[in-house]
Structure 1
Amino acid sequence: MKNIGFNNLGLHPKILQAIDKMGFEEPSQIQAESIPVILEGNDVIGQAQTGTGKTLAFGAPMLSKINCNEKNISSIIITPTRELAIQVNDELSRIARFRKISLLPIYGGQPIERQIKSLRRGINVVVGTPGRILDHLHRNTLDLSNIQFLIIDEADEMLDMGFIEDIEDIIKACNSDRQTLFFSATIPNQVRKLASKYMKNNIKYIQIAKNTLTVEKTKQYYYEIKNRDRFESLCRILDVDEPSSAIIFCRTKRGVDELVENLQLRGYNVEGMHGDMGQNQRLNTLRKFKDGSLDFLVATDVAARGIDVENVSHVINYDLPQDTESYVHRIGRTGRANKDGIAYSLVTPKEYMMLKQIEKFTKSKIKRKEIPTVDDIFEAKYKNIEKKIKEVISENDYKNFVPIAMELDEDYNLVDVAAALIKITFDKELSFNYKENSINAEEENMRLFFSIGRMDNVTPRKLLKFITQTSSIEAYEIGDIDILNKFTFISVPERVGNVILKKSNGKKFQGRRVSVELAKNKKSNR
């Protein structure tokens, strides 16, 4: 499977253009093995762990084959959860960006009338949850009688959640000459029975073996960031940690070039590596990184594959990878030779689900860290400068400069002179012109009042479900929940609270209309 590129798999040129734009240099194993088989017209059961790139494995060939000029539904993708439906739809939208293909996610918690309007206008690809798909079938607003593709994603999870009858009802609404694809992390007997009952005789079974995980010696952390603050966040991390040797991973070749240029402008000792660079250039960069004349290496996954450097103290995921296996390969670059390594990931709220998949895949906990403040950076730089001064004094390596110090002593207090020299050193070492002490200085929490409480059978789980369904806010963005007898308080970031106030106020919880307001104070007794 070595040296196979996406352009060797037979995909539509417009799909290849989108994949290149997304920055993927070569297919993962499930993609390389599945795409040609699907393009040949076979039914497929693909078994690979969550986070190995299964969406692109079925999405790229499906989007290559369907006729985008037709306004009827060509493909239906069934997912077990609303969150996965949104994620799959977003990924397919990126893959289809240069083909005029219309996509629609359909799931509960979203107004069905809006979905019906979109379906009437004509949609090529529908991604949905079983319950909402059946709802549309019963209303005759969804026609699956002429589809090219029926795709069931996370089939094992779907059946574990008790959707077997719903899935069979949906399959029965589809035409028999369709192409059927099952993708799943495991293939239990229920999935096999479903496949033997509804898939063609030309079925191909593709199984990707689990990789051995080697992350025990690596301490893993993540920083939650806003996308606009990604670069400054990285600079703050580098300034406070001062890694002795670090590999910084970007998802795309262009991302590598841009990050290297920006870091060099800030004075960091850094170079980049990616697939478009010549072999001599890459070898020269790698030599400098190995011998320590280069502090930081920015690379794509493909370019970093041949890197074997023992003393890498940090791996930093500037961008999360496209799949969890790549994450394991990345952080395996540190924590070698029985040394502890550190792996940091910069994660936006939208990428939080991917982070959870990585935790599940690696069977490890990735701890959250706060983005360093300028005070943190000053403290780290001060300790480093203090250490260097003590080393120079202990080694008696300052005698040539005593006359200058004595001369300054005539006009100034030597403590002031020392402080001025420390400031000069500090300013020289500080890379970024930081405007705020904290990068999240503007982010304040808001306390909201809900007019329902224990008397209304409210539990934290039910309340979170109500909020996520009415406002589209993710559950992890909700802070403290304080449920009292007649009402409830929650704490949320201000930006999240404004959305909840706008969208959840006046909605019904178990038949009762809920009032959502800004709490007057923490001890409000309404």
Structure 2
Amino acid sequence: MGTTKVEQASEAYIDESVSFESLQLDPRLLQAVKSNGFLHPTLIQSHAIPLALQQKRDIIAKAATGSGKTLAYLIPVIQTILDYKETLQDGNDDKNQTLGIILVPTRELASQVFAVLEKMTLYCSKDIRSLNISSDISNSVLNTLLLEKPEIIVATPAKLVNLLETNTAAISLDELRFLVIDEVDLVLTFGYEEDLSKIAQYLPLKKNLQTFLMSATLNDDIQNLKQQFCRFPAILKFNDDEISKDQNKLAQYYVKTGEFDKFLLCYVIFKLGLIKGKTLVFVNNIDRGYKLKLVLEQFGIKSCILNSELPINSRQHIVDQFNKNLFHILIATDETNYTKEEENEVAQEEGRAKNEEAPQKDNKKEKMNKYREYGVSRGVDFKNVSCVLNFDLPTTAKSYVHRVGRTARAGKSGTALSFVVPRKEYGKHKPSMCTTAAKDEKILSRIIKQQSKLGLELQPYSFDKSQVEGFRYRMEDGFRAVTQVAIREARIKELKHELLMSEKLKRHFEENPQELQSLRHDKELHPARVQQHLKRVPTYLLPEPLRESKTPKLGFVPFHKNNKRAKKGKVQKRKGGKVDPLKSFK
């Protein structure tokens, strides 16, 4: 497989007044940067890199998705390690030590950061070796890799804590020079505070450690991390609101509709091709994702599932195939628990103080622990997404921002469409009901307020309901076939299939990357009875503009086809198949 380049940042974030040559980087690092197509650093890079390299300051940075935060900390880390290696003598036994730790909230983001890290160390791989310990590898293999003492380790906080507590001989942080916590707000949202406190006990003194705290948003919770890990940090905040007003090409719409009509609108949108390009569909739980996939299968619409139940290798491969345009509809389950953010939003509405905390139930904490290493609305690098469809509206305005941020990236245009269930429509159709829809109207009002503060507008999407109604009976027919039993069977079938494929991904495809295309994740599950006639849309149901384009112009069609005309001299048969003796007699 060919190598893929690091995704370019939006032109709105590029700082053309500075070049990478002026940052006095190692020639090998500079060559890696240029080979990935970077000519000028972004705003955050041009500010953070000199502060980290020349002044040795800790960095706390707030910048939007796509602004180049990853290279803003990778370049200083790599450059400083290269400088450190040059000061060591060739025979020094301490030449190989773990010098940098990069913590990220999810396994998917760990894989992405590790991929960028490998590209940046391509020409200095002998001096800087890296390891992603969050990948799905066995403990024996991991211990072997750790014996080589990689200079940079990428991990989730939970994985690093587990390694430090269970296998202290495999890793030592005594010589650690760098600690990076990427997507800090998401790390805190996922409930990693306790893990970070445990990691702090293994770290060397602050004076020997340089820290990078990177995030798309900064809140009060980050102050604890600042006191815990930083000495004298430089705090960088970029006014992304102004950039958004001028450069944001995201068109945002919402549709108020009933619960069953969500499925109806999805069918019409995808079957008639009303959305061009790739679509990322968000649902709020795993069953909803499979229900939507099975309903779309009834009409011959292919889609793919992404959720926390699937093995990490399969999830990474699904994202990779989606980015390579092998399928165009990805149904992603957003299981991120934004309980604390939701309480803060409610507190703001009611005029209460932000720091007033409501009691939290233990079962929510257990659910957080279950899914905290999986996150799809943040961190995962979905490329060239044309539309984000919020099939289920998120539970907070903050989560909405993270979801729609998957499109309209790097200066490209995009569309966000959200389905909103009015309170009076909630619960009317039990089979299609989602419990989170009870608060849709409240969440929508918060989202509209939030977007208006940024100078953006969320517009109601109007469509001709009469043209959609013609498809209702077909949707009712297809929806009835997708029972709860069918969903459960599909869930088990998909999980078994992906587990087998994950083993293949882990063993076989490392040696045979050319066969990677043989695995397709958008195959039909077929646990429900598929009615073939539903896959074709009758012409009379199509809107007038589409009806004309879909109807082929055949020209003159004769009443009889030439190949079926009776030819002279041949025996004619009756309808019953018997030969007429009068005509066949000689």
TM-score using structure 1 length: 0.47
Q: Which has the higher strand share?
A: 1
Higher relative contact order (CA 8 A, sep 6+): 2
